[in-house]
Amino acid sequence: MRTRILILLAIGISTMGFAQKDAMKTAEKALKDGDAAAAKTALMSAASTIESAKEKDQAEYYALLGNANYELAKKGDIASYKSALDAYNKVIEVEEASGKSKYTSVAQEQMGQMTGDLVNAAVEDNNNKKFSEAAEKLYLSYTLSPKDTVYLYYAASSAVNGQNYEEALEYYEELKELGYNGEAVTYTAVNVESGETETMDKTTRDLYVKAGTHKDPKEEISPSKKPEIVKNIALIYQQMGENEKAIEAYADARAENPDDVNLVLGEANLHYAIGDKEKFKELMGQASAMAPDNADLLYNIGVINMEQGNLEDARDAYKKALAIDPGYINALLNLSTTYVNEGNGLIDEMNVLGTSKADIAKYDELKDKKDSLFREGAGVLEDALQSNPDNESILTQLKNIYGALGDNENFMRIKKLLGE
């Protein structure tokens, strides 16, 4: 009786072996005929028994499965790239265990081609503003070729552009853990015949210079991307409302790049948003001290203060920017706007007053103050108009101020200058 059971068991194993081989033959034929879907279907019919097959049959099976999925991926099924990758990695795993490598080189070659396909497709997606699709493909490219961490960096950038912040954060955190900095050396030399600067690898460049066909060899080191990575981590946490993590990330970012004034401004804005106005003022002071002669920085300080309703501080920053660059149009416009905004704030107070004698007197007082602020804002722009007589933004803002003041004479004068 025992012998019979063993014989039946042997027959069962043999039958499974034939089924696997039949599935692989069917798949191979389907692939030759260009029917990757049929090939995958045939292979999946033997999936439940393949682990019991001989290692050489397992390797062949997974190589065919990888090829079928790769063909499906090339036809637009993005998910099949991952399935192909898993299958090819299984080929390598099985053959490493068995000490053989019949299909390993094929799997590695296919994986290399897949990487190129994915990167090219991601570039096209980015050009077409399909950022989420690009991020997915670039991350798969990195998975296929982990040594090319630049793909992970570009995946994070695409995810940010697609506003997929959680995904971008995951990629940036991985880059940070890997210690990625993105530094690279570019080798150049001037072609003697054409006079053009050409980029090439170091060995080729040195050979050309030695041969005399090129001259003026140079090496340019691109700056580290590590400060940008930690900065983006902070900004994403802030965007996601995880303020404590954002503060920690800003600390990391500033440690990496202590001279980046924009990091100080970003952290200041975060502290204002969470109600820590003292820290906000402290950081704004630090930012101003870091670059006292930087008109753009002072302008940005003004913008942040104006957004937070700190009109006096904004005004002070804009005036400092204009002392450095008197022709800074946006600073002029915003300086004028600080007076208009303050005046508009008084209108809200005026509108809630009643009709009592005291309220009427208060109304007249506020109106005079409001009109004075509007005229001060107009005065800033009238001065700017002397050196920028055709600036449409200045003229338009002036027209609006005079319209709000009911100053018809100046209103019509500015309309004429605008050609209206």
Q: What is the pLDDT of residues 64-84, one digit of tens each?
A: 888 888 888 888 787 888 888
Residue type at 354 in one-letter notation: G
Convert the pLDDT of each residue in 146-191 to its tens digit.
888 999 999 999 999 999 999 999 999 999 999 888 877 888 999 9
Helices then strands, counting H and E runs in the chain, come out as: 19, 3
Convert the pLDDT of each residue in 312-337 to its tens digit.
999 999 999 999 999 999 999 999 99
pLDDT value for 314: 93
pLDDT exceeds 50 at position 283: yes
Total residue length of the chain: 420
Convert the pLDDT of each residue in 346-378 to its tens digit.
888 888 888 888 888 888 898 899 999 999 999
Residues 203 and 187 sit within 8 Å (Cβ to Cβ): no
CA distance 147 to 41: 33
pLDDT exceeds 70 at position 275: yes
> Residue 18 — pLDDT band, cuts 50, 70, 90?
low
Average pLDDT of the chain? 86
pLDDT exceeds 60 at position 285: yes
pLDDT value for 42: 81
Structural domains in the chain, CATH included, are: 2-111 (1.25.40), 185-221 (no CATH), 279-418 (1.25.40.10)
* Helical residues (DSSP H) of 128-225, grouped into ranges: 131-144, 150-161, 165-178, 202-211
Pairing verdict, β 197-200 and 214-221: unpaired
Rg over CA atoms, the chain: 34
Mean pLDDT of 290-300: 85
Residue type at 153 in one-letter notation: Y
pLDDT value for 15: 41
pLDDT value for 19: 65
Residues 57 and 21 sit within 8 Å (Cβ to Cβ): yes
Residues 48 and 23 sit within 8 Å (Cβ to Cβ): no
pLDDT exceeds 60 at position 16: no
Residues 186 and 219 sit within 8 Å (Cβ to Cβ): yes
Which residue, among 347, 320, 356, has the nearest Cα to 405 in the 3D structure? Answer: 347
pTM of full prediction above 0.75? no
Phi, psi of 66 (to 5 degrees): -60, -45
> Residue 394 — pLDDT band, cuts 50, 70, 90?
very high
pLDDT value for 338: 95
pLDDT exceeds 70 at position 400: yes
Question: In 10 A of CB 216, how many CB atoms?
Answer: 10
- CA 47 to each of CA 21, 41, 50, 52, 350: distance values in angstroms, whole numbers, following the listed order: 12, 10, 5, 10, 79
- Of all helices (H) and strands (E), which one includes residue 219? strand 214-221
Mean pLDDT of 289-294: 85
pLDDT exceeds 80 at position 412: yes
pLDDT exceeds 50 at position 90: yes
Hey, what are 274's tokens? Answer: 């969470």
Which is more confident, 57 or 346? Answer: 346
Residues 334 and 306 sit within 8 Å (Cβ to Cβ): yes
Q: Tokens 């050009």 correspond to what residue?
A: 127
CA distance 245 to 236: 10
Mean pLDDT of 377-397: 91
- CA 9 to each of CA 1, 15, 16, 275: distance values in angstroms, whole numbers, following the listed order: 13, 10, 11, 75
> Residue 27 — pLDDT band, cuts 50, 70, 90?
confident
